[in-house]
Structure formats: C-alpha cells, structure tokens
A and B are shown apart, each in its own frame.
Chain A
Amino acid sequence: MNARASARSRRSLAEVVHSREMIVVCGSGGTGKTTVSAALGVLAATTSSARVLVLTVDPARRLATALGLGGGELAGQAPVKVEREVFTALGVECPGELWVAMLDTKAGWDELVRRHAPSDDVARRLLANPLYTNITGRFVNSHDYIAMEQLHALHESGEYDLVVIDTPPSRRALDLLDAPARMREFFGGRLITWLTIPSRSRLAAAAAKPFTAVADRVLGSRFLADIAEFFTLFGTMEEGFVERALAVEALLADERTGFVVVTTSEPSPSREARHLVVELGRRSLGLGAVVMNRTLPDGLRGRAATEVAASLRSPDEAAALAAVLAPLIEPGSVDRAGLEESLAHVLVETGERVGELQVAAAREAECRRMLEQVAPVVIPLPALRGDASGLASLVALAKSLA
C-alpha cells in the first residue's frame, strides 16, 4: 500500500463501519454519542447492504421520532426498522437495512435473572423481591453492564451484520469497560461472602462480626436481613453470571469490535477522550476512531479567511467591499435605500465576530492535535446549522463521517 492510500484509509470511518461487526460508541456526557451512533448506523446502511442495528439509550424525542422510535414509548420492545422509503424520500439510496432499538435496563436484568436462576422458583422470588427493582435500577454500573450484555446477546443472535451501541451516560466513561470485570468481582467479592455466611459456616461468621456490627448500627438489622436474603438468592446465579461476564469481556476485546470515542472540541471532554483512548490501548481494545463533534467550519483557520476577517474590521475596507457587494445582492430581498451603508456595518460586525470564532478555532485545533498524538483517526464533524435531530441531518452527518 503506498503512502497516499494508507493516509486515505486512515481517514475513513466508513472503513471502520464496514470492517467491524460491533461498534461501541463512548465518550463523556453531552458530546453527542446518541447522534453519532445513529449517524454511524445510517452510514453503514446507506453505503452497504448490511443489516444494521443501532441500540440506543434514552434518545431525545425528536431523534427518536426521526429514527422511527415513536417518541420513546418503544423502550424494551423489539427493534424497529427504518423503512427504505424514508431514505428514498430524502433522495438517499439505502441498500442495507437500518434497525433501531432502545436499551431497557430493567428488562435486561429481568431477562438475565430468568436465564441464570437455577430454578423458576428462585427467579420468581428474586423478581418479586422489593429490593430487586431498586438495586437493578440504581446499581452502579448496572446500565453499563446491561449495555455490554445486550451487545453480546445481539451479536450472538446472528441477526445483524453490524450492531452499533450507544453507551449510557456514565459518571466516568471508563466504567463501561470495567463493567463486566466488576460484575465478576462482585460475585467473588466479600460482600456476597459475608452476607451469605450464616448459611455457610458459623465459624466464619464470627470473623465477619465487626463488619455486621457496623452495618447493623448504620443500616438497622432488618434492612440488613432483607439485603442478605436478596443476595443469597442472587448468589445462586453466580456461575452463569460469571461465565457470561467473561464472554462479554472477551467480545469487547474481539477484533470484530471497534470503539468510537466521541468528544467535542472543548478541552475538558477532549482530555477525557484522550484518557479513554489511552485506556483502550492499555487494555488492547480496538479503537476505531475518535469523532470530534460540533467543530467549527474548516475554512475559518485558513490564512485568506484570517486576512479577510481582519480587513473587514477596518471600517474603510468594509465600506469599500460593501460598494462591490451591494449591487450583487438579490433585488427585492432587502431595502435598497441605505443598503451599502448598512452592508458596511454588517461586514464590520461579521469581521469582529468571525475573529472571535477564529480564536476558538485555534483552540479547537490544539485539542485536535492533542488527540491525534494518541489516536490514528480523528474525524472532525462540523456543527450543523440547526439541531441534529431529523433523519435528513443524520444523513448529512453520516456523509461528513464517511
């Protein structure tokens, strides 16, 4: 492969999308993970014959509507297909199929319990336990684990060529990678051991006394007993859960899985993205690309643009340019009287504001360089003019990503 071809392939997210079977989209909150996930799905379905599923979490309503999720009521339901005609209506070919589903943590847990409980009775008692809903709903990493678990289940089903998963908003994006390991540790951990001790060994129970004494004092013994019962039931599923968590971990490390890290061009999310990229490498997980979302327009930083903006800020030069431009402006759209003067004023203002944008663009370039030091592919995704929530704008984003 010559240098030029290599440089081109390094720039292509389409290649990532077409070469992987699973794509995990991660990054800090508010960077646009859901939108980028949807756009990646659109990219894959419109540029290949792949059957693609985008598994998303809690998307904003208009995005959900654009994707045919009907305002979010379909949580936990079967995947919905975005009909080909919807793309055709936008003048876009869609040789593949785009399916969308929404992550439902509660349903995911219920399914796990039913699958791994040693008997129907245990499953029934667990699902009916008053602590169960609370714990599965609030469990730190509970969303993260279920997201990874669903990815595994969907891949195993063999129904899709590509599954794109939009990850839940974590406190730290890294939690996601650690979720399967934490699930394993949880079962091997002291808590379960201690809480289930009374049924195992009286002698060991004595060793746990300081712990239970404190827990008693803090939580009250009845609450502790409730928890103990819950975990005794939960503990019966250890084998199945641990085996499954290992399989999920293995899938994340599989070369068919690619991670796409989403960031904005601001320092704080960029630093977190960089950290995430480094951690992915440390864990030998496959980084597909970094997407820098909502960047400023490319042309801003060129020398010509910088010079023009500077000259516009000079009232004389703005007036001279206004004289050139005024006759070009569509007649009828504005009031001709005083147009030239008003145009000069608008040009000065434009020069000033674009100057501010150019400063922001320079800072943005700095963040991009920082990421390029650790990631081979950093793809800028310029901000759309409005909100990125209709299918048309997803198609536009998919084009920028390709």
Chain B
Amino acid sequence: MNGPATRPLDRSLLFVTGKGGTGKTTIAAAAALLAAGEGRRVLLVEMDAKGSLSEALDTAPLEFAPRQVDLPPAFRSAGGELHVMSMNTEDSLREYLRVIAKVPLVGRIGPLARTFDFVADAAPGVKEILAVGKVCHEVRQRAYDLVIVDSEASGHVVAQLDAPRAIRGLVQVGPIREQTEWMLEILGDQQRTGLLVVTTPEEMPVTESIELVGRVRSATDVLVAGVVANRVLPRWFAGADADVFAALAATHLPAPPAVPRGLEAVVAAAAGVEARRVSGAEQLDHLRAALPGLPVTVVPELYPRAGGRRVAALVAEHLADEWEAS
C-alpha cells in the first residue's frame, strides 16, 4: 500500500467529483463496491442529495443515518460491507450540536430548523463545513475502513474542500474555528485523503477537469489522486483494418439491391462512432499532456442494457482490472 503505485482506493477518505453528466456517481458506487468486495468496511456518502446514488445502487432513497446495503453476489466473498448515507446539513448540524458542541436543546431545535436554510445561505461556508465536517468526523471515528464521497459536481467541490480554511479565515474565535484544525489535518493528509476527478473524453469535461485539478491544487491541500476517463469508446479497428474501414466509409455505396438496404445507414453509424472515438482519443492525449504524472484510469463505454447496480458492478470490474495492472 505504499510506493508510487498506490491505488486511489488505498486510503481512508476518497472524494469523487466531475462535471455533471460524466458519471461520477457511477464511478463512486463502483469504487465502493470494489473496496467492499475486497473485504473493507465502506461508507458511501451522497453529497448533493439528488437521489442518483440510490439509483446507481438500486436501493431505497438514502437518509442521513447510514444504512447497510447488500453487495451483489460477486462482491460478497471477502466479507466486506457497504453502508450508504445521504448528506443533509440540517441533520449534520443536529448531530454536531449533540455530539460535539454538547448543546442540550436539540429537542427544541424547532425555530432553528425553520431558519436553518437561511442561516446556511447567509453564513458563507456553513453548509459546506457541516457536510465536509461530517465526512471528516466519520474518518476520525474509524468506524469504517474507507469513506467514499460522491461529491458535489466540479463547480462546487472546491468550495466544499476549502470550507474549513475559509471558515478559519472568517471566524476568529469559537468552537467552529477549533473544529477546522483537525478537519484540515485529515483533508491535507495525502496518505489518508484523495480526490478522484471523473471526466468523459470530450472537450468540455476535459477542459473543466484540467481547470479543476489546478484549482484544487492551488486552493486546497487535498491530493488529486487520479482522473477516471469514463465512457471511453473502444477501438473497433486495429492497424490495417482501420484504413480499410476508413476507405469503406468514404466509398459511395451503390443503391439497393446491389448492396443490402440499410447497409449505408449501418456504415454511416459506425463511421460516426469511429469519428467520435478518434476525437475522444485526442482529448485523452490532451488530458494526459496537461496533467503529467497524474494517473488516468480508462473505463470503456459499456452501452449497458441494464441500469443501476449491474452497471456499477461492471464498472467496478473494470476499475479492478485497471488498478491491478498499474
């Protein structure tokens, strides 16, 4: 578990983020299945409460209280566990008041709860620190071997990771300021904590990922552990076959019945996908060149027939192969 070949999973806290639509939730779920399949006790946290994580795991809507979910059969043998929860800053505040600040009036929190949204809107970083604080708290409690966070999309994640530092800058005294110290220690510990950035091989997600890595590195102490390039189209034709296909695609096909009806549509569809594959490969080259030294894990486009847990399990197998090989 040491040396340069450390996998993104080989730590106790892993944030997973990415531009919307890149599949960060699927990757987070797959990474959690993989770790649980290796026998670890995993807590998977959905940050943005959109419900896509429960979809990805085919399970009932998540709540703040962690709930253990069944692992698919292929992931059970090592005796690991997967627990899932959904972040809710109001519940997190209650827990904080009860457990850490030891405020006795949790039962009478009514007026506070009603205005909580407004407080959280108003005071910069409050929502973020309650979310990231809960996650760090779980890491500190060591009830799990690994906490994986399906984080906010890339536009919001830096504010979240940076929240303890921002709060420390704004709040001069008080318990919250003291709390930020141990959070920063966990977040900045590169052995313990890492961030995985999910992208697809397209221009906008790749550009955004490169910018995100820069911002995380400059604004926080969190280690960027790697990039996952998701939904990468596989190479259909190798070597000379690629030239033959290109020639076929460029050929003006005669009208049916000289060739079967539908052949033109089939060749055109294949040519379209091949062109997207080529442009995707260029984007991956660009990504690798812009982020030298950062491992890029490739997950192929699966065109899955099924959804939910089946996809998460398939992606987990790919991650296992990729991370094994590296």
Could you tell me the distance between the alpha carbons of A385 and B271 in the complex, rounded to whole angstroms? 8
Query: Which residues of B are found within 8 Å of A226, using beta-carbon distances?
Result: 170
Query: Which residues of A are found within 8 Å of B159, using beta-carbon distances?
Result: 138
Q: Can you list, as one digit per residue, whether each of A111-143 has a CB less than 8 Å from chain B (1) or not (0)?
A: 000000000000000000011001101111100
Query: Which residues of B are found within 8 Å of A299, using beta-carbon distances?
Result: 262, 264-266, 268-269
**8 Å CB interface, B239-280 against A:** 240-241, 243-248, 250-254, 258-273, 275-276, 279
Stretch from B66-74, B189-197, B198-206 that touches the partner: B198-206
Question: Nearest chain-B residue to A186 (Cβ)?
Answer: B118
Query: Which residues of B are found within 8 Å of A311, using beta-carbon distances?
Result: 260
Q: Are B241 and A131 in contact (CB under 8 A)?
A: no
Q: Are A214 and B20 in contact (CB under 8 A)?
A: no
Query: Which residues of B are found within 8 Å of A61, using beta-carbon distances?
Result: 207
**8 Å CB interface, A197-235 against B:** 210-211, 214-223, 226-227, 231
Kindly state whether residue B101 has any CB partner on chain A within 8 Å. yes
With A267-B307, A297-B272, A304-B265: A324-B243 Cβ-Cβ less than 8 Å: no
By secondary structure, the B interface counts as helix
With A334-B244, A334-B247: A134-B111 Cβ-Cβ less than 8 Å: no
Question: Within the complex, which residue of A30, A192, A300, A307 is in contact with B22, where a contact is CB–CB below 8 Å?
Answer: A30
Report B233 CB to chain A, min CB distance, Å. Answer: 10
Q: Are B115 and A191 in contact (CB under 8 A)?
A: yes
Query: Which residues of A are found within 8 Å of B63, using beta-carbon distances?
Result: none
Counted as pairs of residues, one from A and one from B, with CB atoms less than 8 Å apart, the total is 243
Kindly state whether residue B121 has any CB partner on chain A within 8 Å. yes
Please give the number of chain B residues whose Cβ is less than 8 angstroms from any Cβ of chain A in the complex: 88
Question: Nearest chain-B residue to A218 (Cβ)?
Answer: B176
Stretch from B6-14, B33-41, B137-145, B148-156 that touches the partner: B148-156
Q: Are A29 and B175 in contact (CB under 8 A)?
A: no
**8 Å CB interface, A292-349 against B:** 296-297, 299-300, 302-309, 311-312, 321, 324-325, 328-330, 333-335, 339, 342-343, 345-346, 349
Query: Which residues of B are found within 8 Å of A63, using beta-carbon distances?
Result: 204
Kindly state whether residue B171 has any CB partner on chain A within 8 Å. yes
Query: Which residues of B are found within 8 Å of A334, using beta-carbon distances?
Result: 240, 243-244, 247
Stretch from B47-55, B75-83, B219-227, B316-324 that touches the partner: B47-55
- Which 8 pairs, one residue from A and one from B, show the smallest C-beta to C-beta distance? A29-B20, A30-B21, A220-B174, A299-B265, A304-B262, A191-B118, A385-B275, A30-B20
Can you name 29 A-B residue pairings with CB atoms under 8 Å?
A28-B21, A31-B20, A63-B204, A134-B170, A140-B121, A169-B20, A189-B118, A190-B111, A191-B122, A210-B108, A214-B103, A218-B97, A220-B172, A264-B21, A297-B265, A299-B264, A302-B262, A304-B265, A308-B265, A324-B259, A325-B251, A325-B259, A328-B252, A328-B254, A329-B251, A342-B241, A349-B237, A354-B269, A360-B303
Residues of A within 8 A of B (CB): 28-31, 34, 60-63, 130-131, 134-135, 137-141, 169, 171-172, 186, 189-192, 194-195, 210-211, 214-223, 226-227, 231, 264, 267-269, 296-297, 299-300, 302-309, 311-312, 321, 324-325, 328-330, 333-335, 339, 342-343, 345-346, 349-351, 353-354, 356-357, 359-360, 363, 383, 385-387, 389
16 more CB-based (< 8 A) A-B contacts, given A134-B125, A192-B118, A218-B101: A29-B153, A62-B203, A189-B118, A210-B111, A218-B96, A218-B175, A264-B21, A299-B269, A304-B262, A309-B266, A328-B252, A330-B250, A334-B243, A346-B245, A357-B270, A385-B275
